[in-house]
Amino acid sequence: MTTEVQGIHHVTAIAGDPQANVNFYVGLLGLRFVKKTVNFDDPGTYHFYYGDESGSPGTILTFFPWASYGPKGRRGTGQLTVISFSIPEHTTGYWTERLRRFNVDFTGPFTRREEDVIVFHDPDGIELELVSSASDKRQGQDNGYVQPERAIRGFSGVLLSEENHERTASLLTTILGFYPVWESDGRFRYESGSGGPGTIVDLLHQPTGRLGRMGIGAVHHVAWRTQNDETQRILRQELVQLGYNVSPVMDRNYFHSIYFEEPGHVLFEIATDPPGFTIDERQETLGSRLMLPSWLEKERATLERTLPPIHVPAGNPVEV
């Protein structure tokens, strides 16, 4: 049994308008709407999960939609500032044409080492990348928008903007099991587990960068994968012994989580792979209704009345 993390479990960000968020990530990017629930710590707010067919760890992007009138975030140091998705090799032409069709501004494709990269932003300004990979063997899924052979496979990696990358690098390599891969112009790449797409974290050294601010258009946290409750317990103990202020284990229904700030102030989560998203819905009906944890079922009528209605389109591309 290894206690080292096995790459990215999920990334959670703050959105504005919930319907625009669904239209973009389902209708344009072709991700599956895996789960519609609420923020367990703030039940008056939705929590959306997007991913592959079953919501596999390493494919899950989640959002707290605060509505368009919420406070705006600011990208900067102490934040995860770029989310990269993995796409199949030789599909950058398809994706640039798709982005152009939906009037989404983009840069690229350009080459970063051996990767072909397209850069663009979601409706709230979150910076995204599509990274072409020949090594990603994960399967694409067909939700009626993007053919499986062209579909996003899951995460490629994430970029953390750090005032001092060395302290964060030490945490990654000494406790979490990451190892260095390359560095160039103040960008330092690490991978974990078997390496490759889904295990990548880049640290961007920005000693004079402006501090980021949480709000709409900012990433809230990144979660790293751990095998089970026991490996999570061991990691938590190691972090506490090193002086990190680690939360108690929290039951998120679909995984168990602990949270702490890394030295550069990005919020880290360590989340278990099980039990997964089919614990309360069948795989074929994932995301079709509002799911609540048992302790919030008594609030269902109130929540369904007050949360804004959303429509998850299926079968034909939607304008975003």
- Give the model confidence (pLDDT) of 265-283 as tens digits: 999 999 999 999 999 999 9
- Give the model confidence (pLDDT) of 155-199 as tens digits: 999 999 999 999 999 999 999 999 999 999 999 999 999 999 999
Are 94 and 101 within 8 A, CB to CB? no
Are 76 and 210 within 8 A, CB to CB? yes
Residue ranges per domain, the chain? 8-306
Place of tokens 């020949």: 134
Find residue 140's DSSP bridge partners: none
Counting residues of the chain whose pLDDT is more than 70, the rounded percentage is 97
The CATH architecture assigned to 8-306 reads: Roll (3.10)
Tokens of 73: 């975030």
- Name which of 25-29, 299-303, 316-320 the model is least confident about: 316-320
The CB density around residue 10, as the number of other CB atoms within 10 Å, is 26
Are 50 and 154 within 8 A, CB to CB? no
